[in-house]
């Protein structure tokens, strides 16, 4: 037996194991479906995706319009201040327009005291959070049949998608996500949720009172009625040049919520590239310095 043989045998075993894994991977999703497994959430193409992606300001503006016209009827955005809507890297509305928006917001700031110590309600201003219709969780639950519409400020960061494929594919997806800088699982989930209602629900599914079937929501029984629909698309300003559709509405509001949960993404990515460039230049300089220092020394 030559010395190379054991090495060859090991590589043959590794190859067989890998091949076996890929064959299994091919059957993975089918098996998951047979077992009534979870719905695979489709990944979307986001302008802010990957290592270099940035928010699309016009999309954030359209997304805010949808939040304002639809979602704000039930959901607050407590961690976003009105003034943030006028900041660069976000929807970047003119400050005057945002001031006007704040004082005409349908909900008032409550819980503050006047000079005599009496609780008062007042109009919001630029420095106030984007509040929702409910003063507290109990009031929200009472109005929503027991379900609590969560604050949407961090919802995109708070959700993600799960990889339902078999483990070899799972590992490959993980590796490719590292290489491509994929971090948009939360946005893909929210988009999937907004577009994932099924009416009527699949045959054999027993729905609880006041619940709506959603393919993406864990357990599939969601208390939120479909907020967007193909029959009542939110129209955009004609000058935006974008044709409104159900999917476009869902993309835009999701992009806006992604910004709300990560408002400094644009500047962070730019800084990241600048740091990499800086490190590259430093590496070259250090290399040249090392060569010049050691050039006269015999070694
Ligand atoms: C009529 C009230 C209402 C409107 C309008 C509404 N929602 Fe909701 N939403 C709810 C309720 C209630 C829940 C909690 C559902 C549950 O826990 O079953 C919820 C939950 C959610 C969740 C969390 C789901 C999860 O994974 O836990 C997201 C995301 C969401 N809504 C987004 C939106 C967006 C985006 C809009 C606007 C396009 C919107 N909602 C409009 C009532 C509403």
CA distance 108 to 256: 23
Give the count of beta carbons closer than 10 Å to the beta carbon of residue 151: 21
Ligand 1 contacts CB of residue 221 (under 6 A): no
CA distance 145 to 221: 14
- The encoded tokens of residue 198 equal 């099924």
CA distance 238 to 248: 15
Q: What is the pLDDT of residues 226-255, one digit of tens each?
A: 999 999 999 999 999 999 999 999 999 999
User: Tokens 């005291």, residue?
Assistant: 113
| pLDDT higher than threshold 70 for residue 22 | no
Please, what's the b/e burial string for 191-217 (b: 16 or more CB within 10 A of its CB; e: otherwise)?
bbbbbbbeeebeeeeeeeeebbbbbbb
pLDDT, position 12: 60
Ligand 1 contacts CB of residue 142 (under 6 A): no
| pLDDT higher than threshold 80 for residue 121 | yes
User: Tokens 């949960």, residue?
Assistant: 261
Asked if residues 140 and 76 have their Cβ atoms less than 8 Å apart, the reply is no
Site to probe by mutation for ligand 1, drawn from 224, 225, 234, 247 as the one with most ligand atoms within 8 Å of Cβ, is 224
Q: What is the pLDDT of residues 177-208, one digit of tens each?
A: 999 999 999 999 999 999 999 999 999 999 99
Site to probe by mutation for ligand 1, drawn from 69, 138, 149 as the one with most ligand atoms within 8 Å of Cβ, is 149
| pLDDT higher than threshold 90 for residue 296 | no
- The encoded tokens of residue 3 equal 């010395």
CA distance 299 to 289: 17
- List of residues 6+ apart from 275 with CB closer than 8 A: none
**Which residue, among 221, 50, 67, 88, has the nearest Cα to 147 in the 3D structure?**
221
Angle at 149 between CA 148 and CA 153, to 5 degrees: 130
Asked if residues 39 and 51 have their Cβ atoms less than 8 Å apart, the reply is no
Ligand 1 contacts CB of residue 190 (under 6 A): yes
Mean pLDDT of the chain: 90
């Amino acid at each position: 037996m030559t010395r190379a043989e054991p090495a060859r045998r090991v590589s043959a075993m590794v190859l067989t194991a890998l091949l076996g894994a890929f064959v299994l991977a091919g059957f993975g999703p089918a098996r998951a479906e047979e077992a009534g497994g979870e719905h695979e959430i489709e990944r979307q193409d986001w302008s802010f995706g990957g290592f270099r992606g940035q928010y699309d300001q016009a999309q954030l503006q359209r997304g805010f319009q949808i939040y304002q016209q639809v979602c704000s009827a039930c959901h607050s955005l407590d961690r976003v201040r009105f003034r943030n809507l006028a900041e660069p890297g976000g929807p970047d509305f003119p400050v005057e327009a945002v001031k006007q928006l704040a004082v005409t917001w349908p909900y008032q700031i409550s819980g503050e005291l006047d000079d005599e110590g009496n609780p008062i309600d007042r109009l919001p201003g630029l420095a106030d959070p984007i509040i929702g219709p409910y003063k507290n969780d109990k009031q929200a639950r009472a109005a929503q049949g027991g379900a609590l519409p969560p604050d949407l400020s961090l919802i995109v960061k708070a959700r993600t998608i799960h990889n339902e494929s078999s483990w070899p594919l799972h590992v490959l997806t993980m590796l490719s996500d590292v290489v491509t800088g994929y971090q948009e699982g939360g946005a893909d989930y929210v988009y999937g949720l907004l577009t994932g209602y099924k009416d009527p629900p699949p045959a054999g599914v027993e729905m609880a009172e006041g619940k709506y079937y959603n393919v993406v929501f864990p357990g599939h029984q969601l208390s939120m009625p479909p907020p967007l629909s193909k029959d009542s698309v939110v129209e955009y300003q004609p000058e935006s040049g974008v044709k409104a559709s159900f999917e476009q509405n869902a993309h835009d509001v999701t992009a806006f919520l992604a910004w709300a949960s990560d408002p400094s993404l644009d500047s962070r990515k730019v800084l990241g590239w600048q740091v990499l460039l800086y490190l590259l230049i430093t590496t070259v300089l250090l290399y040249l310095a090392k060569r010049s220092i050691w050039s006269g020394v015999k070694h």
